[in-house]
Structure 1
């Protein structure tokens, strides 16, 4: 059946709903409301994007109904049949509930009822899941997190058919399934429920939402404020090595809204987990808005949830894929179902920003709820405007005072720098202070590795985190930042790292030709102070904008400094001599070094060391300020990885040994292009003739860049005074430069 015919069919069903179905009732009262359902019914057949979404969901649910209901005895990790089947069940049940409300077709209510009673029959005798890896094992799934997913969605399905069920049926489900389920993931698993973490957010939302459907005030209060006497000991650990319980830790939904979110809407675990957590955050907040508007949960912390949607969109590249900060799977984007929900709700419950409608258009689907209808109507009526992602500095921490993420964008994402100076990020954080990644349009130029996990791929560790996530992905050397004496930041100790954060020195994105972010770190290596300044610069003598990177280090001892750059592409050219070994050996024995093969080793060039590669049809050149005592390593990820859990990707590393105070200066320069169709190579060589450190003192560091046409650019950072009103003057080669503010560029 084509879309036009299906739309007509849906409209016909909507018009023929019985008067009894349309009568006021207490349900649905979570995500759907009586008035919202009425508006959706009235608009069926009149709003193309909404009709398309409705038709897609109907096709999916009808196919599942035709297959019959299967609720197998749980046995598998993520990706296995039983895991995927139960996961599919709760997704489909929730969608069937929406279809029942909009279309009034009893087959959807019957399908949900029959499924719920199959679960009711099995749950009372269901033991803990047989897989024992999790710190909080579930019953239907290997971890309570997924059990909570189930209850979040099933509570919506139950709410949708609440009035369809008899009183006895509701009592049986609530007594034998829903209340025991809620107690299990909360009271029986306080180490999962009573913490501040994305896991807990799902558990809290699950308990609170089923409490709202059942009108169970105890469950609602438990969700909002946590369990008072949980019996937990201080210092317990979760699967990822994160602390489960610390002295005086807050708990409940409000604590999970307060602590992980900064006032800017940045979520400390990073965008990958913010995307995952936004669904329960927003859905439960909406359910509270519909039932307890006096508590203003949706508006809590100055509308931080709605700000969080904007923060997430700004933490994506030109293709809508989220930057893989901390544990993050590459490729996750705002096309995910959770972001469809988030964007629609942000549009409806925010200020109806027309820019959000352009994201809705790209997503090509809407939530089957009043907010999705409103977004689809806005698209239909031509109200969409382009979503403009500019440079942004997002603070981290409950009060926005625990570092942050600086994103510098030039033009229409022609060059995008992602600079991380944030807090640890809970158990999903990495040891990568002052690290960065670089993008040209939607392509990675210098990458952040992301996580070591094959999500929901059963053959790879049951779809769970692999040991290489700890031994490689979280380590310092795995990132584009400074590693000292082959040690991780904070010694790789989570509890120590969680006490510290980097400090913003300056952020300025107001100028067209230069945008700057700068931050300091003094705790990652005791006795060593790091100050990194990064500038995205566009000059007429350069084809494209380029990145200037200045890392200034002062220490109370001599150290070995390693500064890696993880590029994606094919080596094209270099100006240094190196030797390639006949057999490959790891760069080190621990802290991530054991996973790096040495494919080449040589000495740096006195003055400037240059290295070029071709990636995604574009040329890039790394120019580093070096001396002849520096070493260059060409590396490849994959050593000590017999199961091939790591991607075999390349890097170049600058090593400086037996050095106390030093400055690393480099330029990453995009230029030219190559077409395999026309076999045409354009501008394949660097435009930089000389990179030079012209000033370095406790107060100032100055760098000059001379291009091949003889023009010089000068950049100076004031190392000790970041005041926007401070006046500075320095003399270089007999010429005096004066300026106001933290930096000078000419």
Structure 2
């Protein structure tokens, strides 16, 4: 039987009023404070949304990868709460104690805010509030950071970049506890901490903020994220479009050697428009693309949730989503990013920024099931709406492999400034760089390449010279050897002319030019080819490089064919290095080793190379075999008796041991106008240290021969030890896929359509 109670209307009104004023108590919980959601908009709203909180709570305990991530984060933050809050006075560079502590704090604040929302436990909100109040008390007393090295000093950190990192994460924490705080507390934080913090990053530091660069992307995102939480349209506009009516000194360089923005383009949208090509390649390279993807995607998600009318994920034809796929394809078989430009080796898609990228791409994209396989490998998800979507996808059995194929990624805002080609065949990966300069993080290495097998380097790109966040090595910052060695042309697998780097090692020259694609072909699964030209690295000299990965039934594994055609209007010295790893096994030439090691040269990187041996009187084919990672490799290259082979090793003029002592074999040609370097690299066989047995340790190449080399065509004949012969012809001009070719070589006619011929 139902009992109906009659409650006087006046009592109902009294109850409502009482409930309203009760919600205004200082430390009311989220569930008790819903009446305050009209203060701004419903919170949280940036990355974790109010609806997302409801959906997550409804699924907890039934979504394994999310539950596992939550358990790990909860244990981590509980330990931090137990240890107590520490907000030290800033004094250190990267890697120093105060730097690391403030960096740790931004992660802890963000994660504690998420835990408050998901677990509805007030202790996490109180922890975030208490730490923010300590930062409020500290920040209003801070001068510029005491370390003066940066072109744009922060206050919590030695550079505005790290200050921006802090605000990007802390904005998310503030969003999560927004309704937990009283209006008075919010005003205090916004007036004394968040607004001045955003102003310092932007108004006070235009040389940092008003640019197109990964640094300014972080700055734009920091200002925009806190603007979204505070519902401050001025800050949001400043983030999107930059600071209006601001004049900069365009001749001033930053600490990375790049110039400040000269054309007035600035703000978050400009930082999407300029660095990304239509294919999603980021001009600074994958290492910095990885670093920049977090602010790009986090702010984009915040804008999508709070300002959906901007349609941010559709901007520039959806390039942010394309960039995630491009970045994943710029990694080797182990998920490590190729170290193009200033790139630290070992950075991979297991990094937190790529967890963010994969989850956001899956949630806001087309829910590609291949992304779920990467998320499974990452073994964690974001504790927000997108992380929930991934967790549900994995739970519901939607996982499929993420397949990396040969791909050509254009460079430049319109895709017309060269690019990067990745050729893949079985376990072999070739990375061919013919891109633009790459902003201030670019290297002088036109038409360079690196070669991998099963994620291991066969021929390497050195990457950067920096020990990130290791204070003992230059404060964790770039070392001087990054300019004197890592950026120089001789440090890369490409041609150096007259011991001088491309563009004379000058950023202002190199940034004006880019290489040009001749052709890219990946339709034939057995023959993958990329070809590109460079006409500006050296005045009066043109470089044309054609690289192929070829799967031939006569060979155990795919091999690399490399044709570098150099044409000049005067005689030069050309150096052509191979930066291999491992132990020398065998050569078919004699060489002498000096008793005292001396540098190979005096500048442009040569001062850092020891000369360890010289070989001359070379045959028509020079062969060099080495052993690495229990596998065998052989280089066969076309030479003549005027060429020299130099054994070199990195490490000269390096008293602080900042450089790795890696070896290289260098082919040198003197006093030649035109030279075509033709090389073939085989990977073959294996060795078992357990059984002490070697299999297929010898080369399968009998001879490679250049049977034609004209302005229009270059033809290479490849003969294996069984006497089987194949011919590869590349079109140096008129190389479109539709072009028809007729050619006579040694009284034999060849006809084909397309960019190359192989048979």
Cα drift, residue 382 of structure 1: 1.2
* Partner SS state of residue 711, structure 2: coil
Select the residue among 572, 589, 597 that pairs with 1:559: 572
Select the residue among 432, 448, 452 that pairs with 1:435: 448
Distance in 2 (alpha carbons) for counterparts of 1:21 and 1:716: 74
User: In the superposition, relative to structure 1, how do residues 658 and 18 fare at CA in structure 2: closer, same or farther (>3 Å)?
Assistant: closer
1:506 match:
519
1:87 match:
103
Distance in 2 (alpha carbons) for counterparts of 1:157 and 1:359: 27
Select the residue among 336, 342, 346 that pairs with 1:331: 346
- The answer to whether 1:650 aligns with 2:663 is yes
Equivalent pair of 2:33/2:180 in contact (CA under 8 Å): no
* Partner SS state of residue 535, structure 1: strand
2:411 match:
396
* Partner SS state of residue 435, structure 2: coil
2:725 match:
712
- The answer to whether 1:613 aligns with 2:626 is yes
2:93 match:
77
Distance in 2 (alpha carbons) for counterparts of 1:430 and 1:18: 51
* Partner SS state of residue 694, structure 1: strand
Cα drift, residue 235 of structure 1: 1.9
Distance in 2 (alpha carbons) for counterparts of 1:214 and 1:405: 41
1:20 match:
32
TM-superposition CA deviations, 1:226-274 (whole Å, max 9, x none): 012323112211111111132x231101100000000111100000000
Structure 1 residues 104-503: aligned runs within 5 Å: 104-246=120-262, 248-411=263-426, 414-503=427-516
Distance in 2 (alpha carbons) for counterparts of 1:576 and 1:128: 61
- The answer to whether 1:596 aligns with 2:612 is no
Moved more, 596-605 or 98-107: 596-605
Distance in 1 (alpha carbons) for counterparts of 2:36 and 2:68: 28
* Partner SS state of residue 313, structure 2: coil
* Partner SS state of residue 444, structure 1: strand
Distance in 2 (alpha carbons) for counterparts of 1:453 and 1:724: 43
Distance in 1 (alpha carbons) for counterparts of 2:233 and 2:67: 37
Distance in 2 (alpha carbons) for counterparts of 1:585 and 1:293: 63
Distance in 2 (alpha carbons) for counterparts of 1:230 and 1:86: 31
Structure 1 residues 615-694: aligned runs within 5 Å: 615-694=628-707
Equivalent pair of 1:24/1:34 in contact (CA under 8 Å): no
1:527 match:
540
In structure 1, runs of 5+ residues without a counterpart are: 1-16
1:11 match:
none
Structure showing greater Rg: 2
* Partner SS state of residue 323, structure 1: coil
Equivalent pair of 1:187/1:230 in contact (CA under 8 Å): no
In structure 2, runs of 5+ residues without a counterpart are: 1-28
Distance in 1 (alpha carbons) for counterparts of 2:528 and 2:171: 48
TM-superposition CA deviations, 1:43-98 (whole Å, max 9, x none): 11010000000001101111111111111111111001000000000000000000
User: In the superposition, relative to structure 1, how do residues 23 and 673 fare at CA in structure 2: closer, same or farther (>3 Å)?
Assistant: farther
TM-superposition CA deviations, 1:362-405 (whole Å, max 9, x none): 00000001111110111111110000000000000001110000
* Partner SS state of residue 656, structure 2: coil
Equivalent pair of 1:236/1:245 in contact (CA under 8 Å): no
| TM-score under structure 2 length normalisation | 0.95
Cα drift, residue 663 of structure 1: 0.6
Distance in 1 (alpha carbons) for counterparts of 2:362 and 2:342: 28
Select the residue among 62, 71, 74 that pairs with 1:46: 62
Distance in 2 (alpha carbons) for counterparts of 1:265 and 1:65: 41
TM-superposition CA deviations, 1:550-583 (whole Å, max 9, x none): 0011101100000001001111111111111111
Aligned length: 727
Cα drift, residue 24 of structure 1: 8.3
1:13 match:
none
Equivalent pair of 1:604/1:626 in contact (CA under 8 Å): no
Equivalent pair of 1:288/1:298 in contact (CA under 8 Å): no
Cα drift, residue 604 of structure 1: 5.1
- The answer to whether 1:575 aligns with 2:588 is yes
